[in-house]
Copies of this chain bind each other. A is one copy, B any other.
Amino acid sequence: MGKKRNLYLKTIPVEEAKEKYMAALGVLIEPKIETIDVRNSLDRITASAIFARYSSPLFNASAMDGIAVKASDTDNASEAAPVVLTEDKYLVVDTGDPIHPPYDAVIMAEDIVDVEEGVRITASAHPWQHIRPIGEDIVAGEMILPSNHKIRAIDIGVLLSAGILEVDVVKRPEVAIFPTGTEIIEPEDKPEDGSIIESNSRMFENMVTVAGGIGHRFPPIIDDYEQIKAKVSNAVDKFDMVIVNAGSSAGTEDYTVHVLRELGEVIVHGVSIKPGKPVILAVVRGKPVIGLPGYPVSAYIGFENFVTPVIQMMGKRPELLTETLDAHISKRLVSSLKYKEYVRVKVGKVGDKFVAAPLARGAGAAMSLVRADGFCVIEQSSEGVEAGEKVKIELYRSKSEIENTVVIIGSHDLILDVIADIMPNEYKDMHVTSTHVGSMGGLMALRRGEAHMAPIHLLDEATGEYNISYINKLFPKGAASSEPMALIKGVHRIQGILVKKGNPLGVSSIDDLAKKDVCYVNRQRGAGTRVLFDYKLKEAGIDPADINGYDREMATHMAVAAAVASDGADAGMGILSAAKAMGLDFIEVAPEEYDFAIPAKHLELPHVKAFIEILKSEDFRNRVEELGGYECDIAGEVVML
């Protein structure tokens, strides 16, 4: 093998790692302070208590529009015996005007009548009435804000009115970020075989901002021990913290841990967390230096667990609390006792319960983080959770947003993206979320009460009809366990065989797929496309065993199209819009009906009503026609079953 591998890593539990590292840093780190203009201090943390320089109001001030008087001049005035004050006895004042001796009371404009000699009043004024005494709001010398306070807009107003122009605040920690790796390229570079677009550092830069720091991202360093050492060492002198990305797994090109051992002390290497294990927590010349794994999800979770708390500590910012929610997990999750595991989930409210559906668990699945509504955290001490079990979810989206979301589980189609895009634009604070498990998977999710609706396209081989017979079979009418169902009509779409541009193998029908040189890529069991494919194979009298790649399953049309576009496969079954999106050729096989199965009771939900309105809208139809391969004349019609 030749190459040296770092086969290693005794991991330690997350909490222990964090505690050990924070303890090591705690004695080293003293927050830095800077003096800034109050006007630019929003969201900064006060470094010391702030005391008022002036009182507010600055003087005894009228609290009303009216006249300033000497209270003793008004004694005994009443409706029965009004008193007339001559002009030398009062002063017209507006709200906020100063009141000086001899005046010691204000009478409201509404309570006086102009007369020739001056004004007539019909009630006596008591001393200090309608006067805001000096310092009523703020007294000079009074503490306005304590230290360690996050400055808000209202604080800025009050500080200025108390005569404070500058404040001492905690400096934002400056964090240097180094991507490493010979194979990584910048996003603007043209990717070649084996290239990985460097994006973690830009995610980090923004996560630093969210944590209250200032990120400085440096160009990628190639996998060279001396270069990494020189740059990290230099950065330690100039910044408050250093992050080195990748180079922290057990791969052959991982120098970070060796560099950090040479430059300083590695406190922790390897944490019992999944994804995110190969984290390096080091201290170099009194500064925190953290190595994070290269896989985006590992990088994210490592950052949240170890970098964020350090930045918050240095910036004296409080931890941001994540909203949590109890939800029922939609499927069994097995987890190792070796790790605390972060499983990304989609969360929806169906009926009166929240349901969490796990997303892809791979460390590379960055989109699963984008799609996620939150994390289901499985503690290291747990071997997992059973389907239907109640779990605590750390939320990314607000609970109210989740409550206004249509939860769709079933077959994938690009029109779902179109709907998801239109929804929040046209219907304030309403959303659509979809998970792709195929048509049968969608109906099963409906049965378990995990979704509002299931997009399906299931051909009944006996009748040639779509969808309805499957619903009736799974939700038998009159059965106690069952409930009234409906079908929201969706689109007609063309299914076909996707082949590489120019159709180099000359595939023209299902029959050609059995040829030995065609490498096929299939859809998963329960997908409508798989049902159609199996039906067509049977019709043509072909044994699935004769299809090379029949067992290679993809979860979406687009994944099939991507596989065909690469050198991994020659053909797959899918829809025209997927072929167009990936620049593939398309051999038409059959039209089919793609509809939405829905328990009738959900039809009344406002977000489901909005969903139906979108299907009927001009905007939706125009955008779907642009995709190609669809017909949507009756989209949005509701059929009660």
A547-574 contacts to B (CB < 8 Å): 551-552, 554, 556, 558-559, 561-563, 565-568
Q: Which of B134, B202, B401, B563 contacts A568 (CB 8 A)?
A: B134
- Complex CA gap A360/B138 in Å reads 12
Whether a CB of chain B sits under 8 angstroms from the CB of A420 is yes
- Is the CB–CB distance between B59 and A137 below 8 Å? no
- Complex CA gap A191/B551 in Å reads 83
- Is the CB–CB distance between A559 and B139 below 8 Å? yes
With A65-B251, A205-B39, A400-B321 as known contacts, state yes or no: A365 contacts B187, CB within 8 Å.
no
- Is the CB–CB distance between B365 and A421 below 8 Å? no
* CB of A450 to closest CB in B, whole Å: 22
- Is the CB–CB distance between B57 and A364 below 8 Å? yes
Interface string of A509-541 (1 = CB under 8 A from B): 000000000000000000000000000000000
A568-626 contacts to B (CB < 8 Å): 568, 578, 581-582
A378-433 contacts to B (CB < 8 Å): 396, 398, 400-401, 417, 420-421, 423-425, 429
- Is the CB–CB distance between A65 and B552 below 8 Å? no
CB neighbours of A263 from chain B (8 A): none
Whether a CB of chain B sits under 8 angstroms from the CB of A29 is no
With A55-B562, A146-B424 as known contacts, state yes or no: A157 contacts B203, CB within 8 Å.
yes
CB neighbours of A205 from chain B (8 A): 39, 153
* Residues of chain A at interface, number, CB under 8 A: 130
Q: Which of B141, B157, B321, B565 contacts A398 (CB 8 A)?
A: B321
- Is the CB–CB distance between B160 and A199 below 8 Å? yes
Whether a CB of chain B sits under 8 angstroms from the CB of A194 is yes
Interface centre among A2, A199, A249 (most CB of B within 10 A): A199
The count of identical subunits is 2
Residue of B nearest to A254 (CB): B94
Interface string of A42-78 (1 = CB under 8 A from B): 1000001100001111111001010000000000000
In addition to A156-B203, A157-B202, 12 A-B residue pairs with Cβ atoms within 8 Å of each other are: A1-B114, A2-B92, A7-B110, A54-B191, A63-B362, A65-B251, A94-B253, A132-B362, A137-B368, A138-B366, A140-B582, A153-B210
Interface string of A11-44 (1 = CB under 8 A from B): 0000000000000000000000000001100100
- Complex CA gap A56/B364 in Å reads 9
- Is the CB–CB distance between B552 and A3 below 8 Å? no
- Is the CB–CB distance between A194 and B153 below 8 Å? no
- Stretch touching chain B among A96-104, A334-342, A461-469, A498-506: A96-104
Whether a CB of chain B sits under 8 angstroms from the CB of A142 is yes
Residue of B nearest to A396 (CB): B152
CB neighbours of A581 from chain B (8 A): 139-142
- Could you list 23 A-B pairs, sorted by A, with CB under 8 Å? A1-B109, A42-B206, A58-B197, A96-B183, A128-B552, A132-B364, A133-B566, A134-B568, A135-B559, A139-B558, A140-B562, A141-B561, A146-B420, A146-B423, A146-B424, A153-B209, A155-B370, A156-B199, A156-B203, A157-B199, A157-B203, A158-B370, A160-B198
CB neighbours of A321 from chain B (8 A): 398, 400
- Is the CB–CB distance between A300 and B154 below 8 Å? yes
- Is the CB–CB distance between B364 and A558 below 8 Å? no
CB neighbours of A55 from chain B (8 A): 562
- Complex CA gap A147/B423 in Å reads 9
Whether a CB of chain B sits under 8 angstroms from the CB of A127 is yes
- Is the CB–CB distance between A366 and B558 below 8 Å? no
- Is the CB–CB distance between A206 and B153 below 8 Å? yes
CB neighbours of A165 from chain B (8 A): 187-188
* CB of A374 to closest CB in B, whole Å: 13
Whether a CB of chain B sits under 8 angstroms from the CB of A543 is no
Whether a CB of chain B sits under 8 angstroms from the CB of A124 is no
Residue of B nearest to A303 (CB): B153
Whether a CB of chain B sits under 8 angstroms from the CB of A367 is yes
